[in-house]
A and B are shown apart, each in its own frame.
Chain A
């Protein structure tokens, strides 16, 4: 069968399976287990309503258990064993090996850099774009353009930006725009941007900032629209200039949303993998935790250390995740 047809069939089976599950499980609940008739009709309705939420949650709980809870436990188990010794229990040896690996500390340092720079820049640019496009005619077109990178996969974006940073021999035309601009501004020779230690981290971060700015802008734009017009007018009458209106009236009123956007991007940053994988693969001191984990787990085949790295990433993400969910709830 043609793969597209197979796909369509699977979609059909999947969707009708879901609909069927909810429909028939409710029928079973209401007609057979707790029928709303007979002498206990009232009691049965109440009981059915107590059970119903679990009926709806059941598939999600199963999926989360299978694909989230189980892997966490299994990864934790693997991080305490050694594959080369046939899966023997080795205690904290893998963690010790991890902490003695300079590449791990490099990855941690780089992740910290990413953590400081990317959420800050994305949120700042997003806020700026949201404010500047707020009340102009072509604001929506500008917004669509800024949002567009969101639709590109991280790998795709990485490929695009590899071209931006591309370097050709000096006597040929530069197809990388950065080198073209660099030479036009009087640079002596084309630079290999991605192999300049430390600074190359920022060239990689540019890709994620480029993608996440659109996300930050869309959310913050909605938040700015929600700031009551009268408070801005009152500030105008009180004598505030546009900067004071922005920083003293608008930003404090949307600070909750800014925090949610910031932390959401922070979580994305902690998991960053594709961009580094596709552009430098961690060479030239650009290693990050997720790529480090992948290297250990699937390239070196060292499940123990790889799993230990995965646990470290989870531990780092967890507090931010909890905080983010709390903030998001407060906003709702």
Chain B
């Protein structure tokens, strides 16, 4: 049972380098929150501030209403799983898991019961007396998770726990973490990753961090369907959302945009009369683009194709060296490279951004 609250939290290194500012975040008991963002956005720093491994330079951090800024890590009721596992190499699996409880001077019977329980959940029973070096990467990460479970923390913190595993193991361990979450509905989890798939599949809520702050918080599909800004729009989803520049020519319940590429988009997003003539970007995801029968949104020559079997990615020739427009068509399209293709999308799939922010009313 733990509600976490961050209000106006900031991190400044050496009084000069500002890494994070004005972080406001509410995490409810039982939620699995994922922090994502580009490298260097401070997502790991934020997690380490929650853990207490980094000091909090400003603002307040509370767990269940209790201010935690100056509480030592061990007394915050948290457990952390590290990317590099961080197992104690000189201790057996059993001792690794028992370490925290031994330090807390828990009775032997309680320690053993907790270890047996964790080992059963994580299928580590045969390995309890091995040293970490005699385990595979996946097993090591399970021991690290076991070390967290044994402590029965209020909050689990995961710092890119799957990044050191190979692709197949990553998927398997991801599913294990999801199951673990289900089996412990009262524990709060904070999970840092740079992998979108992990974020989309595991998260109850995703926090996208960028530019020292939070770009958007929401459920995975909210972020996908209704990004607040161009950054989130392009960060979530692969390949990234296309942004087509244009100008508003008609306002009202539906907004009409004349695209500089020549097409016209009618978007079911309401705009004010004062928006008339405003320079905007129309966002459209590659997977939402379909071959146009008439009135194309976008037309261009296919420069490169990537045939993935299930879908074919089309990279169009870009004007003046910018990001190429990308389309994702279902199925196999063998002779499409080098041809001119006209694409369009359903109006409700279109996004509208002005000055980098979504024009959709909340």
Contact surface of A with B, Cβ cutoff 8 Å: 228, 230-231, 233-240, 244, 248-249, 252-253, 255
Asked if A239 and B74 sit within 8 Å, CB to CB, the answer is: yes
Asked if B103 and A231 sit within 8 Å, CB to CB, the answer is: no
Q: Note all chain B residues with C-beta closer than 8 A to A237.
A: 51-53, 73-74, 78-80, 100
Complex CA gap A228/B90 in Å reads: 12
Q: Note all chain A residues with C-beta closer than 8 A to B53.
A: 233, 236-237
A236's partner among B74, B87, B88, B89 (CB-CB below 8 A) is B74
Q: Note all chain B residues with C-beta closer than 8 A to A236.
A: 52-53, 72-74
Q: How large is the interface on B (under 10, 10 to 19, 20 to 34, 35 or more residues)?
A: 20 to 34
Given A238-B74, A239-B74, A249-B88, CB of A233 within 8 Å of CB of B103: no
- B104 proximal to A (CB < 8 A): yes
Complex CA gap A290/B185 in Å reads: 72
Asked if A244 and B80 sit within 8 Å, CB to CB, the answer is: no
Binary interface encoding of chain B residues 229-254 relative to chain A, with 1 for a CB under 8 A from any of its CBs, else 0: 00000000000000000000000000
Q: Note all chain A residues with C-beta closer than 8 A to B89.
A: 231, 253
Complex CA gap A231/B80 in Å reads: 11
Complex CA gap A238/B78 in Å reads: 9
Nearest-neighbour CB distance to chain A for B154, whole angstroms, equals 13
- B224 proximal to A (CB < 8 A): no
Q: Note all chain B residues with C-beta closer than 8 A to A248.
A: 99
Give the interface centre of A235, A238, A248, A249 by most chain B CB atoms within 10 Å: A238
Contact surface of B with A, Cβ cutoff 8 Å: 51-53, 72-75, 78-80, 82-91, 99-100, 103-104, 147, 151
Q: Note all chain A residues with C-beta closer than 8 A to B151.
A: 238
Q: Note all chain A residues with C-beta closer than 8 A to B80.
A: 233-234, 237
Asked if B84 and A253 sit within 8 Å, CB to CB, the answer is: no
Asked if A234 and B74 sit within 8 Å, CB to CB, the answer is: no
Given A239-B103, A239-B104, A240-B103, CB of A234 within 8 Å of CB of B82: yes
Q: Which residue of A lies closest to B86 (CB)?
A: A230
Nearest-neighbour CB distance to chain A for B66, whole angstroms, equals 18
Q: Note all chain A residues with C-beta closer than 8 A to B88.
A: 231, 234-235, 249, 252-253
Q: List 16 A-B contacts (CB under 8 A).
A: A230-B84, A231-B86, A233-B53, A234-B80, A234-B87, A235-B99, A236-B72, A236-B73, A237-B52, A237-B53, A237-B74, A237-B79, A239-B73, A239-B74, A252-B91, A253-B90
Q: Which residue of B lies closest to A227 (CB)?
A: B89
Nearest-neighbour CB distance to chain A for B320, whole angstroms, equals 46
Asked if B86 and A234 sit within 8 Å, CB to CB, the answer is: yes
Nearest-neighbour CB distance to chain B for A183, whole angstroms, equals 48
Nearest-neighbour CB distance to chain A for B82, whole angstroms, equals 5
Known pairs A234-B147, A237-B51, A239-B103 / 15 extra A-B pairs, C-beta < 8 Å: A228-B84, A228-B86, A231-B87, A234-B86, A235-B88, A237-B52, A237-B73, A237-B78, A237-B100, A238-B99, A238-B100, A239-B73, A239-B75, A252-B91, A253-B89
